[in-house]
């Protein structure tokens, strides 16, 4: 299929923002170009939301929480509306997928797996979990009887990224809504097309006025939102530097936060691991969406006795991965979504080579692509764990292959980073793998596969952030505990 010469889909309201349950004219005169990462052509020009637009969205969400029905509806009533949202997403998914391919270069295989299959599944799992969750509990002791209630926090700011704008609706926004909060969504600047389509799905679902609001802007909008005293909770996926900046800007009103701030995923291969299935899982775990995911298993630790075998097998696997036009059916990968990811990948590979690394596969733009932000899946060996590429998140298609002599050495190196999001352990002995997994300092560790679970609590430790998404814990995160003291026989003010 030839690449479309221009947008061939109907994206509604490209000149407006969805705020207060209406498509409103922007308060800004600033604009932003939507650029194709495949052709580098301008696809559209859209308004760039600024401070006044952010203020309008917070006011709408604040009014909806303080005076609207949503926080006081029963869980079954909120589930009914959210079910309509998932149905709307399913109905519009073909055009959403195509929009995502236009603006982020996502290949067909990835967008259909993540959007068409996983998004409805994760969304409905949230609804299923919410039905059985308890939000009230009576606690009694010899001296007291109290009601513990989990109540919505208030206005939630959800800051999304370009690498999964649709699935993040089910990881961040849907749990916040089920818990009874209202939401201001700050999409990535690169997600202008999907943003309008997703907003239309919320409109189709019929949420009460002001419950969901979109502010598709850049830095000015982001900084205005995180510093706004009307925001009670911030859920953010970004890099560590942005997370630190958000903490500074929001410190005066101290909102609750859930931060997912990237990773430098370690994969530890034990000596008895089977070669072929391990290589397949490692390649998939490292190269999903061309490494533009925080859970990418980008540091692979292999016993020195098996280093050459894994280097050869992984090199062949990486070389066999096809990069091409995301509108073709065959390529596994399209271009990188943003130009800065391409430049960053190039810079990290050059740095690794200067520090003694050897490129086994990739390390360049693929032949025949003079335009677009294309880069081949890249494997680099002969590195030490203290090199730049092993300590910093690339967020691109670059993997480091490292040798170790003892398992203790591998675990120490795996933990020798400021991150702690997701790791993996590979072994034919599940007990041995679990023992090693216990020692890996990450919020999630997978055994014999490299992909995260979206049905269980997910989040990081150390510099990868805090809080959890997914599972019942991902819904409880958006609540706050309230104690109502029903009776007591004790008083600290009793006279003696």
CATH number of 240's domain: 3.40.605.10
Digit-coded pLDDT (tens) for 89-143: 999 999 999 999 999 999 999 999 999 999 999 999 999 999 999 999 999 999 9
Question: What is the spatial distance between Cα 312 and Cα 316, in angstroms, rounded to a whole number?
Answer: 6
**295 and 199 assigned to the same domain:** no
In-domain check, residue 370: yes
In-domain check, residue 44: yes
**189 and 91 assigned to the same domain:** yes
Q: Which of 447, 463, 485 is the last residue of a domain?
A: 447
Please state the φ and ψ torsions of residue 42, each to the nearest 5 degrees: -80, 125
**101 and 123 assigned to the same domain:** yes
**pLDDT confidence of residue 496:** 46
**78 and 63 assigned to the same domain:** yes
**201 and 308 assigned to the same domain:** no
Catalytic center residues = 260, 294
As a whole number, the mean pLDDT across the chain is 95
Please state the domain count of the chain: 2
Q: Which of 447, 467, 490 is the last residue of a domain?
A: 447
Q: Which of 261, 291, 321 is the last residue of a domain?
A: 261
**228 and 304 assigned to the same domain:** no
- The sheet carrying 136-140 orders its strands as 136-140, 144-152, 479-488
Question: What is the spatial distance between Cα 182 and Cα 197, in angstroms, rounded to a whole number?
Answer: 20
**pLDDT confidence of residue 491:** 67
**pLDDT confidence of residue 6:** 81
pLDDT tops 50 at residue 169: yes
In-domain check, residue 98: yes
**351 and 397 assigned to the same domain:** yes
**246 and 376 assigned to the same domain:** no
pLDDT band for position 493 (cuts 50, 70, 90) = low
**142 and 230 assigned to the same domain:** yes
Distance of CA 175 to the CA centre of its chain: 14
pLDDT band for position 204 (cuts 50, 70, 90) = very high
Digit-coded pLDDT (tens) for 50-81: 999 999 999 999 999 999 999 999 999 999 99
Tell me the residue range of the domain where 407 lies. Answer: 266-447
For 134, the token pair is 């308890």
Mean pLDDT of 209-222: 97
pLDDT tops 60 at residue 494: no
In-domain check, residue 401: yes
Q: Give me the CATH number covering residue 271.
A: 3.40.309.10
**356 and 396 assigned to the same domain:** yes
In-domain check, residue 488: no
In-domain check, residue 476: no
Digit-coded pLDDT (tens) for 267-315: 999 999 999 999 999 999 999 999 999 999 999 999 999 999 999 999 9
**pLDDT confidence of residue 479:** 98
In-domain check, residue 493: no
Digit-coded pLDDT (tens) for 385-426: 999 999 999 999 999 999 999 999 999 999 999 999 999 999
Digit-coded pLDDT (tens) for 251-264: 999 999 999 999 99
Digit-coded pLDDT (tens) for 308-350: 999 999 999 999 999 999 999 999 999 999 999 999 999 999 9
Percent of the chain residues past pLDDT 90, beyond the cut: 95
**64 and 182 assigned to the same domain:** yes
pLDDT tops 90 at residue 438: yes
In-domain check, residue 467: no
**pLDDT confidence of residue 222:** 96
Mean pLDDT of 476-482: 97
**108 and 213 assigned to the same domain:** yes
**pLDDT confidence of residue 5:** 72
Question: Which has the closest alpha carbon to 198: 307, 119, 96?
Answer: 96
């Amino acid at each position: 299929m030839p690449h479309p010469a221009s947008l061939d889909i109907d994206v509604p309201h490209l000149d407006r923002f969805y705020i207060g349950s209406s498509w409103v004219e922007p308060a800004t005169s600033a604009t932003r170009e939507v650029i194709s990462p495949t052709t580098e052509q301008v696809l559209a020009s859209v308004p760039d939301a600024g401070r006044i637009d952010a203020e309008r969205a917070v006011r709408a969400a604040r009014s909806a929480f303080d005076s609207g029905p949503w926080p006081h509806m029963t869980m079954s009533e909120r589930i009914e509306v959210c079910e309509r949202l998932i149905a709307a997403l399913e109905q519009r998914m073909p055009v959403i997928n195509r929009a995502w391919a236009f603006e982020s270069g996502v290949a067909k295989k990835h967008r259909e797996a993540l959007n068409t299959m996983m998004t409805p599944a994760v969304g409905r799992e949230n609804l299923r979990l919410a039905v059985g969750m308890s939000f009230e509990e009576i606690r009694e002791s010899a001296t007291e009887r109290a009601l513990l209630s989990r109540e919505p926090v208030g206005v939630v700011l959800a800051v999304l990224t370009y690498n999964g704008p649709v699935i993040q609706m089910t990881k961040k926004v849907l749990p916040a809504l089920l818990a009874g909060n209202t939401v201001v969504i700050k999409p990535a600047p690169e997600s202008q097309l999907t943003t309008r389509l997703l907003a239309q799905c919320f409109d189709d679902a019929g949420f009460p006025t002001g419950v969901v609001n979109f502010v598709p802007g850049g830095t000015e909008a982001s900084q205005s939102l995180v510093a706004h005293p009307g925001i009670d909770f911030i859920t953010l996926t970004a890099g560590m530097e942005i997370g630190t900046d958000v903490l500074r800007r929001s410190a005066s009103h101290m909102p609750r936060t859930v931060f997912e701030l990237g990773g430098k995923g370690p994969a530890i291969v034990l000596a008895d691991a089977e070669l072929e299935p391990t290589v397949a899982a490692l390649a998939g775990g490292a190269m999903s969406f061309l490494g533009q995911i925080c859970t990418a298993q980008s540091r692979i630790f292999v016993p020195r006795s098996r280093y050459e075998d894994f280097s050869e097998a992984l090199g062949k696997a990486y070389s066999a991965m096809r990069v091409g036009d995301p509108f073709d059916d065959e390529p596994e990968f399209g271009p990188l979504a943003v130009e800065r990811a391409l430049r960053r990948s190039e810079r990290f590979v050059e740095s690794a080579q200067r520090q003694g690394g050897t490129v086994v596969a990739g390390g360049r733009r693929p032949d025949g692509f003079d335009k677009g932000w294309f880069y081949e899946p890249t494997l680099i060996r002969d590195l030490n764990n203290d090199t730049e590429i092993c300590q910093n998140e690339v967020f691109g298609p670059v993997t480091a292959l490292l040798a170790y002599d003892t398992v203790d050495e591998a675990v120490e190196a795996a933990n020798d980073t400021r991150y702690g999001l997701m790791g993996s352990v590979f072994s034919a002995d599940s007990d041995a793998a679990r023992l090693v997994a216990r020692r890996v300092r990450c919020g999630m560790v997978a055994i014999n596969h490299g992909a995260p679970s979206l049905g269980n609590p997910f989040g990081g430790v150390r510099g990868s952030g805090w809080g959890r998404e997914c599972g019942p814990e991902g819904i409880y995160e958006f609540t706050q505990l309230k104690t109502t003291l029903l009776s007591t026989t004790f008083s600290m003010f009793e006279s003696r």
